[in-house]
Amino acid sequence: MTADPVAQRLQKRLPVPYTEWLPELVRRNVGKWVDRRFHGYGIIEHISSTGDRVFTVKVGTPPNFRMSTETMRKFIDIADKLGIGGIKITRNGNLEILTDSLDKAVKIKEEVEKMGFPVGGWGPTLWSINSCTAFLTCTTAVVDAPSITKVLYDHLKPYFTGEVKLPAKLRINVSGCPSSCGGFTSDINIVGHYGDAPTYDPERVKLCLPRSAKALEAGHVPEVAEVCPTGAIKVYGKPDGTVGLDVIRSKCIACGRCRDVCDWMDFDESKIGVAILVGGKASNTGRGSMPSIQVIPWVPAIPPEYREIVAVVKKIIDVWRANAREGERIGDWIARVGMEQFYKLLEIPVTKWNKPVAISGEFGIRQFGPI
């Protein structure tokens, strides 16, 4: 074994047993955790059958977990000084710092709050606002999901820290496009979309089409048409032997897949917005797992304050807070009162694009019965 750390990394073994990365206290208790206890919002105690205990402090971080290495080092310094040398970055973009006593957990909370980061989540609070990467790494983004997430966090922070109590757990996902990489099974989903069918430059779009109509006769389907999920893009042979393209607007759902494969398909930026879906959850509590249901087909996405999106999200939360029973997540509450009543309380019009549908749930592992 060489002493050169770079050379050591190049000699790494794959797959590496994941337990090698864990702090000793966690490693010796893998598979032995038997209970948990909450200590205010943002601090949870894990209890092992061995008698060991670990306390986790949950820190809200910038959208999509984007932060400088300098900031990350400050968190690591806190984890080394007051914790057990372990941190966890959750799939929802929160940072969790592990320690071995409640006193140290409270001190960690104080230290990260001095840095300007909130501690919260768990219990009847906002657990997270999860965001996709959008324009930073994605080729299909329609709206800048992280900046929408930042604005929402600014307005909804009291729900994360527990200053304002909610009826139950609340999760919000923000996705830059209908692919919904921000996540789909959450209480409120915000999904960017184009809002109208695409147009195209008739000359430059030829770069995305076969040069000769004979290719079509041979069965070739250009990718720009092949990816369309509704058959809204029609290609055809022209009398001069070249290939033409039409967009059938009545079939188009503005998903943007054609744009993904052909840069010369274009969308009107003034019509870009987001759809709002509600009621999704993967939990087996209440009525079990539920898909999200679209209730507001389009809200304008106007940076930097995104006032319209913030207003809609806050209205949904306010109506839920005022009417749900304790422990009732948004989907469970809507399933009890009915979608029509939910629309009435929200004071939103019903159109052919958001006709009330029943949220039933009642499916999941409980329905399988004993094996």
Q: Residue count of the chain, please give it.
A: 371
- Helix, strand and coil content of the chain, in percent to the nearest 5, comes to 35, 20, 45
Put residue 343 in one of left, alpha, beta given phi > 0 → left and psi -120 to 50 → alpha: alpha
Q: What percent of the chain has pLDDT over 70?
A: 95
* Range(s) of the chain covered by CATH 3.30.70.3340: 14-115
Question: What pLDDT score was predicted for residue 91?
Answer: 82
Question: What pLDDT score was predicted for residue 224?
Answer: 95
Q: Residue 5 pLDDT > 90, yes or no?
A: no
Question: What pLDDT score was predicted for residue 137?
Answer: 84
Beta strand residue intervals within the chain, DSSP E: 33-38, 43-48, 53-60, 86-89, 94-99, 126-131, 170-175, 188-193, 199-200, 233-237, 243-247, 265-266, 273-278, 293-300
Q: Residue 185 pLDDT > 60, yes or no?
A: yes
- pLDDT category at 169 given cuts 50, 70, 90 is very high
* Range(s) of the chain covered by CATH 3.30.413.10: 126-194+270-346
Q: What is the mean pLDDT of residues 256-263?
A: 89
Q: What is the mean pLDDT of residues 70-86?
A: 96
CA angle 88, 89, 90 (to 5 degrees): 110
Q: Residue 367 pLDDT > 60, yes or no?
A: no
CATH class of 199-266: alpha beta
Predicted TM-score (pTM) of the model is 0.84
- pLDDT category at 158 given cuts 50, 70, 90 is very high
Q: Residue 1 pLDDT > 80, yes or no?
A: no
Of 8-22, 101-115, 195-209, 334-348, the range with the lowest mean pLDDT is 8-22
Question: What pLDDT score was predicted for residue 368?
Answer: 56
Q: Model confidence over 8-21: pLDDT tens digits?
A: 777 766 677 778 88
Question: What pLDDT score was predicted for residue 8?
Answer: 75
Q: What is the mean pLDDT of the chain?
A: 90
Question: What pLDDT score was predicted for residue 14?
Answer: 67
Q: Model confidence over 230-242: pLDDT tens digits?
A: 999 999 999 999 9
Q: Residue 305 pLDDT > 60, yes or no?
A: yes
Q: What is the mean pLDDT of residues 148-163?
A: 96
Location of structure tokens 């200590």: 39
Q: What is the mean pLDDT of residues 129-147?
A: 90
- What tokens does 82 get? 């007051």
Q: Residue 364 pLDDT > 60, yes or no?
A: no
Question: What pLDDT score was predicted for residue 96?
Answer: 97
Task: List the one residue out of 127, 126, 122, 109 whose CA is nearest residue 57.
Answer: 109
Q: Model confidence over 260-300: pLDDT tens digits?
A: 899 899 999 889 999 999 999 888 888 888 888 889 988 99
Q: Model confidence over 330-351: pLDDT tens digits?
A: 999 999 999 999 999 999 888 7
CATH class of 126-194+270-346: alpha beta
Question: What pLDDT score was predicted for residue 2?
Answer: 63
What burial class does residue 223 get, using C-beta atoms within 10 Å of its C-beta: 0-12 exposed, 13-18 middle, 19+ buried?
A: middle
14-115 folds as Alpha-Beta Plaits (3.30.70)
Of 56-60, 76-80, 198-202, the range with the lowest mean pLDDT is 198-202
